[in-house]
Structure 1
């Protein structure tokens, strides 16, 4: 059975610039994938802790390191200091054994163990060794 997908329609300076399609590894990280999917659709309404719409629509990509990483998902402040999961606040890590062995794999960004909210990142290159290092914001 094919894996579920969701997408972002990207605009740069209000000019439509394309679509990014994400394939979600629901068998490896079901709770994380459901969080991301629901934040793409906006179907969960308002956040329990931020009272902001639980939706990525209109959210900026707040961090780009050319040739390395793209990060976004802070629908609260838009600067990388906020965010919330569909579960209210943060949720626990799932399956930290997956490696970034190819470019453009989607991952949750967090501030340490069990602090997953809405922020995500993608390395634009393969970085299999970095999975062993902490990834603080």
Structure 2
């Protein structure tokens, strides 16, 4: 009986999550934008020719998660859509497009951070658009597991992100914190172990798939 009850609860939770996805205003908005853009993913280099999405309208009572399946395991991040709405919007847009699937972490420095999301895989790529940072003094680089946006200077944020292995206060006001790790810390520790002082990963570290969850 307990097994049946647990199964029914799991199904109910899945249906509720599915309903949240289809009814969420931000998801509806981004899917409409993608339809209008008519992105041809068969075209070579499509990841570098994208149009910047609009700043999405987020549901007040919803929590948005970014889930990465990687070669070292899964990581789930809560997106800070209230303090970094453009960064959350771009992440949701690119993820829904399948942009991040198969991209690598090209730079992993021990006890500092892991950087990925470059469509070229060498630290020089961007998705075809750039935008400004969103700096919130109450959301500093003060802990391990923060999701922050890489850039080449002011107004150059794009698709490249990094995940901190420790507090990095020297990055405050220079890089936008737009999320935090909620699970699994063990996977993040494995990334740290596979980094180096030079930033060259010890093995290929890949994003196998990325998805957005709305709860």
- TM-score category (smaller protein): 0.7 to 0.9
Match of 2:81 in 1: 26
Unpaired segments ≥5 residues, structure 1: 12-16, 43-53
Aligned CA distance change for structure 1 residues 82 and 22 (closer, same or farther; 3 Å)? same
Bigger radius of gyration: 2
Superposition pairs of residues 1-137 of structure 1, within 5 angstroms: 1-11=61-71, 17-42=72-97, 55-75=99-119, 77-84=120-127, 88-97=128-137, 98-132=139-173, 134=174
CA offsets per residue over residues 35-87 of structure 1, 9 Å max, x none?
11222221xxxxxxxxxxx6010000000001111001101x11111012xxx
Which has a greater percent of helix? 2
The more displaced of 2-11 and 88-97 is 88-97
Asked if structure 2 preserves the Cα contact closer than 8 Å seen for 1:8 and 1:40, the reply is: no
State how far apart, in whole Å, the 1-side matches of 2:74 and 2:113 are.
18
Asked which structure has the greater RCO (Cα within 8 Å, sep 6+), the reply is: 2
Q: TM-score, normalised by structure 2?
A: 0.49
State how far apart, in whole Å, the 1-side matches of 2:112 and 2:133 are.
23
Two-structure CA RMSD over aligned residues (Å): 1.7
Unpaired segments ≥5 residues, structure 2: 1-60, 176-215
The alignment covers a number of residue pairs equal to 114
